A and B are shown apart, each in its own frame.
Chain A
Amino acid sequence: MTTERPPEWPTRLLARALGRTGAAASVLGDLEEDFVLRLRRDGRAAAHRWYWKEALTLCVEAGFGRLVGRPIVRDETTEEAGMREAWSSSGFVSDFGYALKALRRDPGFFVVSTLIVGLGIGASTAVFSVMSPLMIQPLPFEEPERLVLVENGDGTGGLSGVTSRTSNVRDFRTDVRAFEALGGFNAFFDQSSYNLSGAGEPERLQGVEVTSNLLDILGIEMAAGRNFTEAEGVQDAENTMILTHGFWVRRFGADPEVVGRSLALNDEPFTVVGVLPPDFDFVSVFTPTASADFLLPWPISDYTDSWGNTTTMVARLAPGVSIEAAQDELDSVVAALEQADPERWGLGGRISGLQERIARPFRSGMLLLAAAAGLVMLIVCVNLSNMLLARGPRRRREIAVRRTLGATRGRLIRQLLLESVVMSMAGALVGLALATWATRFVAGSTGLEIPMLSAITIDGRALGFTVCVALLAGLAVGVVPALQVSEGGESEALGGSTRGGGGTRGARKLRELLVISEVAMACVLLVFGGLVVRSFQAVMDVDLGFEAEHAIGWQLASSRVFDTLPEINAFFDEIVANVEAVPGVEAVGLVDALPLGTNRTWGTRVVDKVYPENGPGDFFFPHVIDDRYLQAMRVPLVEGRYFTAFDDEGAPPVVVVNQEAARMLFDGDALGRRIRMWFGEPEVVGVVGDVKHRALELGSDPEVYFPMRQLWAFQTVEMVVRTQLPPESVVAAVGAAVRQSEAQMPTEDWRTLDSVVETSVSPRRFTLQILVAFALSALLLASLGIYGVLSYSVSERIPEIGIRMALGESAAGVRRSIVAQTLVLAGIGVFVGALVAAVGTRLVSSLLFGVEPTDPATFLGTVAVLLAVSLVSGLIPAIRASRVDSAGALRSVA
């Protein structure tokens, strides 16, 4: 019977790691012997497991041992050793080993420098990874460079200003040759939701209405089933749906049998025709922070056209057609359509590349982060150069010995460079770990309104980037010290005294220059960070126009079908009454969409107002609310009255406007005036304060509130509940109160208004946090740099200081002179940095809010912080200098 041999792969690996020596072979034998023993005693599986573990551990130890020149088995015949020497002394291997040995001799230096490089590389890699899916990699679609967005306006009118009527989709499809295909989706999809009942727990779900050709335009391959057919995409077709991959997995356990089944949405049957692939996350590309569980067809019909501007148009350009050419053709088509029907409104189209358009709002922020990461990396490099220069004198003797033994200058430079590259590569490992942690954190955050976040990972590109940065950094960091150290002076260095060794005037000046540049760069980063922090404060200090604290928003989605407005109002009145009865609830109100969520615009003409002939009318942001909403939100009444329960269908139509609308539409005199709407001419009965509806940073828009009892122009209803109690303590009771009216209604979908505000400032906060982290690292590095240079210059000048003290200079005097030296270095750096920042901040002014790029407070604060930190870092060497034992110092010179 033959005995079973150990697994082949670990054996081979180990043989490699150990080398081809007799002792190495004996180690393999030892291992195999124990393996056979275990095979008999513990069984095959256990023995194999054991062998793998043992062999791989040994592999790592042996491999590492060889690298650092401490092999775990050494049994070379003279011949073998000679061959190895001959082979490696010409090449990198011995230099590499030598570099490792040199670093190992000074582990403190190695650890600190690795951490510093790691910090810089981590920052750069993380920023690269965050930018990558949005700005570097092509979108995950077929031929993404041919995909474009067609927008109706420049975005001043909120979502309604960039979306289009479906009649535009219909006509552009047929008339514009430059589009191979044109489709889109209902941008207001999150204003309605669906209750899934039947299969398991009832659940409130979000569906996105897309044109039947949208998935084909993007080039999406379904995970299961098929895309919508053209027949399914028309008005009043049979109900069909496509599930998103996430929902399919979550709700149905990825059961392929779901395709073809019928699900009950709002008590109507919908047939599942397909499932989206896992790598297509619709909302993360088009509407970050929204959620979607399935797609429904969006018919291009007169009915959907009557809803006005609704559709975000996505098109695929015909092959070879440029965006400019397509725009020209679209312009002429729009002109022709206008001519054919002068009454037609909402015509227009601006074409942008899909990727460029999605990335556009984030471009300057990302570029700022990239620039900041680059600066941090530069500071890291300067810092390391400095540390290496400081080591120079200590290494001089060693280098001198090697030179007298025949090493050429080139060889020495190569070796010193290898040292810094090895260091930066080790730093890259630390940096990768940091970046992996950072990107996981970012990709996992749900509240961030930034597209493609879920696609952020450390991938091959990021790895390649890291390696390149590390290599470059290693070379850049090492080159100055390498040239410095390897240049001449053997006899002096071998002469024995370390006094002033390498601390030549030139080297010291160079190090001071490096520190100055470090301080200057830190200054730039601190100014950037400071400005962004001040902007954030300014944004957070903005008067929202409503009270976000102590308020909770609920989306109420009934699956009931209502026939009349009184019926629907009676239903919601009952819910509100139930909720108002919950202990701790102070006020309850209803609205179609909460501030900082979706928005739309309507056009109107004010009665008795003179408009230029054929000129446009006014536009405003409409909100349909109940008579308790404004009070519940604490929106102040300026004049007139709020709505009451008597403003119903039987009463004359009324509206409440905000101050901005009173000024823009009515020239400040709004009360009692009327606006023309399709349903009549409501009268303005009240003026209320402005509310930030679109974004905290944007100015006020004209807003008109319509009473819910008079106008059925809402799809969703959001309920605001104000309470002084912590929100978590009332949600359960409020949910129960809501379910009293409709047991099937999902009630888990609540959020505090604070969190709504938080989400809307999330991209800003994101930039802020990263930038501040960078600025603080820069500050730390700069102070380390100052400390390093000064403490070195102190130790170098000990004999001089000793003499000065022996000659009667006081300790305080010595301290003063060192501190003065610190302040001169830091002062020059701060001055240069402030100048650069003053120019540079103009480039980021688009990211600022409520603060000038030359904000004196930020600049002065930065200067103060930098000088203070420099002072502290200079103080330790200064104190050390003042304790110099003058007698000892004098002896060392003697």
Chain B
Amino acid sequence: MAKIGEFELLVLLAILRQRDEPYANRVREDLEENAERAVTRGALYRTLDRLASKGLVEWELEPSETPERGGHPMRRLYVTEEGREAARASRDVLLRFFDGLGPVETA
């Protein structure tokens, strides 16, 4: 099974969190607002690309409706079953490791 890094995990989760609008810009906004980290465009796109090449993410192009995009298409992102599996596995590992710590250390 594919191994994923922390940022890759965050991106996977952010795509999953978008539900109706799983687009790159929304993912980026979510990461910036809720994960409290500055995300450069290049880093996000490269990560998406890497996730896609690992088979964890897929996308399809859809024509944009809004004039704000100047007619450029949008990428609708999907997390594949393998991607979900990878996210779950990461979560399990993290939980297992946090479990061993008392409340003081986790605080």
**A residues within 8 Å of B by Cβ?**
2-3, 5-6, 22-23, 25-34, 36-37, 54, 57-58, 61-62, 65, 70-75
Contacts and interface: CB of A to CB of B under 8 A. Distances in A.
Contact of A30 (B25, B49, B71): B25
Given A32-B68, A58-B41, A26 B46 contact: no
Nearest to A65: B46
A23 B46 contact: no
Contacts of A54: 41
B77 to A, nearest CB: 10
Contacts of B67: 2-3
A26 B75 contact: yes
Given A25-B61, A26-B24, 15 more contacts: A5-B70, A25-B72, A26-B73, A26-B74, A27-B45, A28-B70, A29-B70, A29-B73, A31-B41, A33-B66, A54-B41, A57-B42, A61-B46, A65-B42, A72-B49
Interface in B6-62: 23-25, 40-42, 45-46, 48-49, 52-53, 59, 61
Contact of B73 (A25, A31, A73): A25
Interface residues of B, number: 25
Per CB-CB distance, the 6 closest pairs between chain A and chain B, nearest first, are A29-B72, A61-B42, A29-B69, A36-B68, A72-B45, A26-B75
Contact of B49 (A32, A57, A73): A73
Contacts of A27: 24, 41, 45
A32 B40 contact: no
19 contacts: A3-B68, A5-B70, A22-B73, A23-B61, A23-B75, A26-B74, A26-B75, A27-B24, A29-B64, A30-B41, A32-B68, A32-B69, A32-B72, A57-B40, A57-B42, A61-B42, A65-B46, A70-B46, A74-B53
A58 B45 CA distance: 10
Q: Which of B45, B48, B52, B69 has the most CB of A within 10 A?
A: B45
Given A3-B68, A32-B68, A74 B73 contact: no
A74 B64 CA distance: 20
Nearest to A54: B41
A6 B66 CA distance: 15
Given A33-B25, A74-B49, A26 B72 contact: yes
Contacts of A62: 42
Contacts of B74: 26, 29-30
Contacts of B71: 29
Interface string B68-106: 111111110000000000000000000000000000000
Nearest to A27: B45
A23 B59 CA distance: 9
Contacts of B53: 74
A36 B25 CA distance: 13
A73 B69 contact: no
Contacts of A32: 68-70, 72
Contacts of B40: 57
Contacts of A72: 42, 45-46, 49
Contacts, number: 76
A2 B67 CA distance: 8
Interface of B: 23-25, 40-42, 45-46, 48-49, 52-53, 59, 61, 64, 66-75
A37 B25 CA distance: 12
Contact of B24 (A3, A25, A30, A70): A30
Q: Which of B41, B52, B73 has the most CB of A within 10 A?
A: B41
Contact of A22 (B41, B61, B64): B61
Nearest to A60: B42
A36 B42 CA distance: 20
Q: Which of A37, A61, A72 has the most CB of B within 10 A?
A: A72
Nearest to A29: B72
B72 A28 contact: yes
Nearest to A59: B42
Contacts of B42: 57-58, 61-62, 65, 72
A24 B71 CA distance: 13
B41 to A, nearest CB: 6
Contacts of B59: 23, 75
Contacts of B66: 33
Nearest to A34: B25
Nearest to B75: A26
Nearest to B70: A32
Contacts of A26: 24, 61, 72-75
Contacts of A74: 49, 52-53
Contacts of B49: 71-74
Nearest to B52: A74
A161 B82 CA distance: 92
A38 to B, nearest CB: 11
Q: Which of B48, B49, B64 has the most CB of A within 10 A?
A: B49
A33 B46 contact: no
Contacts of B24: 26-27, 30
Contacts of A75: 59, 61
A61 B41 CA distance: 10
A71 B69 CA distance: 23
A26 B71 CA distance: 10
Q: Which of B24, B64, B66, B70 has the most CB of A within 10 A?
A: B70
Contacts of A23: 59, 61, 75
Contacts of A3: 67-68
A74 B50 CA distance: 9
Contacts of B45: 27, 72-73
A204 to B, nearest CB: 58
A560 B76 CA distance: 89
A2 B60 CA distance: 28
Nearest to B72: A29
B60 to A, nearest CB: 9
A29 B69 CA distance: 5
Contacts of B72: 25-26, 28-30, 32
A184 to B, nearest CB: 64
A564 B84 CA distance: 106
A9 B15 CA distance: 32
A880 B95 CA distance: 46
A316 B15 CA distance: 79
Nearest to A5: B70
A2 B68 CA distance: 10
B32 to A, nearest CB: 11
A497 B86 CA distance: 38
B10 to A, nearest CB: 18
Nearest to A32: B70
A29 B73 CA distance: 7
Given A54-B41, A57-B42, A62-B42, A33 B68 contact: yes
